[in-house]
A = this chain, B = another copy of it.
Amino acid sequence: MKYLFTHLMGSFIFNEQLKRVDFIPFTQLEDYQHKNQAEEKLRRKHPEAQPLPQDKWMPVMQTFQDRTYFQEFYTKNCELTKQGIKNSVSDDNLITQTIANINELDKVSNLLTKRLREWYSLYLPELSKERSSHEQFVRSVAEKSKPELLKELHLMTTESMGAPLSKNDVEEMQELALLITKLYQVRQQHEVYLEKIMVRHCPNVLELAGVTLGAKLMELGKSLKHLAMLPASTIQLLGAEKALFRHIKTGAKSPKYGILFQHPFIQNARPALRGKAARMLADKLSLCARLDYFKGEFKAKEYKKELEEKINR
């Protein structure tokens, strides 16, 4: 009766008295990763060898209690762990980080634009009301002078309630406006990048949900794998956890959709049909996530058409 036992340091054959009778040492980390080959070799030499039963592990491990041995074991183990961490970085992580960053940039540019609106109103208060879109307001401030803007607003200089500030003062505001346009630029660039990852990682989800919503689903679902494992009804309510638990706890109305609300398919549906639309969309998204995770075909376009036909009926 012989036993076969493998760990980081090598592959070993023990006899019944747990004495080492044969072994193949692993000198490199790669050897451990291909440990099957070493085990195969030993098995061919000792065909009667069996895997070491668990109750014999302790005595076997004690034969390795050698100081130099332990040091080497430790080093190899660290290397292996590091490699494991290295390999654990996946497209999922990149998507999650990027979408989190896009959300942050949105928040930040809103904050700064609000400040700019207040500040610039000392100089030309009439502009803020006319440019309700944050982005247009920022661009106007960054690119145009007061006379140009007054003309656009059909105002005479004397009609404006803004103070005649010095060039120095205005430059400071324009500097801030320029900074905010840079924030917009980087946000846009992040979105292009996000799409590139998603095209290779989850083309179906991308096609059906779009860049931002797709990435947010990936963030809420933690990873594509996890998202693919979720039932469609959970996907339907991702992002509505608070409302869901309120429903369970207090019997309030159950939520019909979470983050899916942002999808044009639901936005365009009649209010009475939105719950139904969300259910259908979640169904298809769940299929898409599974197709993507198991590297299936590209079917999102068909699903999209199907959904549109159904909702129009």
Q: Which residues of A contact B (CB under 8 A)?
A: 79, 82, 85-89, 93-94, 97-98, 100-101, 104-105, 107-108, 111-112, 115, 118-119, 122, 158-165, 168-169, 172, 175-176, 179, 182-183, 186, 189-190, 193, 196
Contacts and interface: CB of A to CB of B under 8 A. Distances in A.
B101 A161 contact: no
A85 B115 contact: no
A172 B159 contact: no
Contacts of A168: 193, 196
Chain A residues touching B, majority SS: helix
B111 A93 contact: no
Contacts of A111: 104, 107-108
Nearest to A85: B161
A94 B161 contact: no
Contacts of A112: 104-105, 108
A100 B161 CA distance: 23
A193 B175 CA distance: 12
5 contacts: A89-B162, A89-B163, A104-B112, A108-B108, A108-B111
A176 B107 CA distance: 15
A108 B119 CA distance: 17
Given A168-B193, A179-B182, A189-B172, A97 B82 contact: no
Given A88-B163, A101-B119, 8 more contacts: A86-B161, A86-B163, A94-B169, A97-B115, A97-B118, A104-B111, A175-B190, A176-B190
The 8 A-B residue pairs with the shortest CB-CB distance, nearest first, are A89-B163, A97-B119, A85-B161, A108-B108, A82-B161, A89-B122, A172-B193, A179-B186
Contacts of A107: 111
A138 B182 CA distance: 17
A119 B246 CA distance: 33
